Amino acid sequence: MKRVVITGIGIYSCIGSNKEEVREGLYNGKCGIDTEPLRTEYGYRSSLTGVVPKPNLKEALNRRQRICLPEEGEYAYMATEEALKDAGIDLDYLEKNETGILYGNDSSSKAVIESHELCVEKKDTTLLGSGAIFQSMNSTVTMNLSTIYKLRGINMTISAACASGSHTIGLGAMFIRLGLQNMIICGGAQETNYLSMASFDGLSAFSMRMDDPKKASRPFDKGRDGLVPSGGAATVILEEYEHAVKRGAHIYAEVAGYGFSSNGAHISQPSNEGSALAMIRALEDARLKPSEIDYINAHATSTVLGDTYEAMAIDSIFAQHKTPVSSTKGMTGHECWMAGASEIVYTLLMMRDSFIAPNINLEEPDDISKKLNIIAGTLDKKLDICLSNSFGFGGTNSALILKKI
């Protein structure tokens, strides 16, 4: 089996528009959440959201490229540009060397809804414009980026709810381990517009703490009242180890383990057993013991059920080791389809700069979370091996282990 490493990272999120801004945000416990009054007018219960600026792509991309990109595609382009540059990869390299793309995305609501509204008004599909179809499909990110970057390797979107970005990296690692690809662009993207989250808001899953947005997302805290939707995009460049060494590329870490499972149970409720199984499989895959994990980046979204079941799962494996745990979602909100990839980028930045980003807004852990070693304030600490959890609707679970080499 080949070894798989990460040689480039890029991030476009509500706490920063590039990796260095995000690194500062993570270290300082910056919160990127605010209210969007339009949501209340539209009929949302909660107007809270992660606030992500619209990228200006007028100079970077031509008209055809721009009109086919939906909002989450624009975010993905920004993150991927940064990641490729970070890895020392340019268009000339991509034209000469087969490179793949696997990206997590599970909606493109704005493009679909706007096309519908225009069609209702015009009663004529030919007036929807040429970009609408390419913006509307779930695979919009991979179809656009593969065209922009002239990619000729594996090319597909992974839709696995809030674990999409994580599974993407795990599956990308499998392609490289098997020797099928030398390099794959992996990541996750999430639209943040008000059209995209209405039906999720309708489940009463979102925090109602609109009077104090920066305190709204409170993973593991007894006083939490729901998650805050957010988004953006995160990209990592996965590369076969020997290939990276030959190129002289900087290596952030090895993707040492990937574990997956499916709960086979409720459509929205998580499971401690399923979550634990994904972590155990990741440990087995990496041939590591729980005691060797320096830090766990939890999925914890700030919902009672989700946080509790994850805390139970982590406790069942790591209890005796008091492994440090934090959820970055207090700062970022829940980046959904992007989260599994962005939290790998957050974890890599922590590993690079030797710190654990804080689980902000943790004032009093709930009874189960009390058993965990949750890091509420930034902690300077050398990190060599880290685990990142991602879970999604339908009971899909993914756990990734990163190891410095």
Partner 1 sequence: MDRKQIIEIVNKFLIEDIEIDSNALIEEALLKEDLGIDSLDFVDIVVVVEQNFGFKIKPEEMSKVKTLSQFYDYIEGKLK
Residues near partner 1 (CB under 8 A) are: 62-64, 67, 124, 126-131
Choosing from 162, 186, 336, 386, the catalytic residue is: 162
CA 197 – CA 126 distance, rounded (Å): 28
397's CB contacts (< 8 A; 6+ apart) are 163, 259, 260, 261, 262, 263, 274, 275, 277, 278, 389, 390, 391
CA 147 – CA 140 distance, rounded (Å): 11
- Is 186 annotated in the active site? no
- Is 162 annotated in the active site? yes
CB of 129 to partner 1, least distance (A): 5
CB of 55 to partner 1, least distance (A): 18
CB of 115 to partner 1, least distance (A): 12
Tokens representing residue 78 in the block: 């920004």
Q: Which of 182, 174, 179 is nearest to 244 (CA)?
A: 182
CB of 54 to partner 1, least distance (A): 19
Closer to partner 1 by Cβ: residue 116 or 321: 116
Choosing from 68, 186, 334, 386, the catalytic residue is: 334
Instruction: Give the dihedral of Cα atoms 340, 345, 346, 352; nearest 10 deg.
Output: 150
- Is 334 annotated in the active site? yes
Closer to partner 1 by Cβ: residue 38 or 127: 127
Choosing from 68, 167, 186, 299, the catalytic residue is: 299
Closer to partner 1 by Cβ: residue 129 or 202: 129
DSSP lists the bridge partners of residue 325 as: 296, 374
CB of 70 to partner 1, least distance (A): 16
Sign of CA dihedral 299, 237, 157, 176: negative
CB of 127 to partner 1, least distance (A): 5
Q: How many CB atoms lie within 10 A of CB 117?
A: 11
Inter-residue contact 19 to 361 (CB < 8 Å): no
Task: Count helices and strands (H / E) in the chain.
Answer: 15, 15
Indicate the DSSP class of residue 384. Answer: S
Closer to partner 1 by Cβ: residue 63 or 289: 63
CA 12 – CA 370 distance, rounded (Å): 33
CB of 105 to partner 1, least distance (A): 22
Closer to partner 1 by Cβ: residue 130 or 199: 130
Closer to partner 1 by Cβ: residue 124 or 367: 124
CA 35 – CA 230 distance, rounded (Å): 11
Instruction: Give the dihedral of Cα atoms 351, 356, 361, 364; nearest 10 deg.
Output: 130
Q: How far is CA 57 from CA 79, 93, 193, 287, in A?
A: 13, 22, 18, 44
Closer to partner 1 by Cβ: residue 126 or 199: 126
CA 359 – CA 343 distance, rounded (Å): 13
Residue positions annotated with a catalytic role: 162, 299, 334
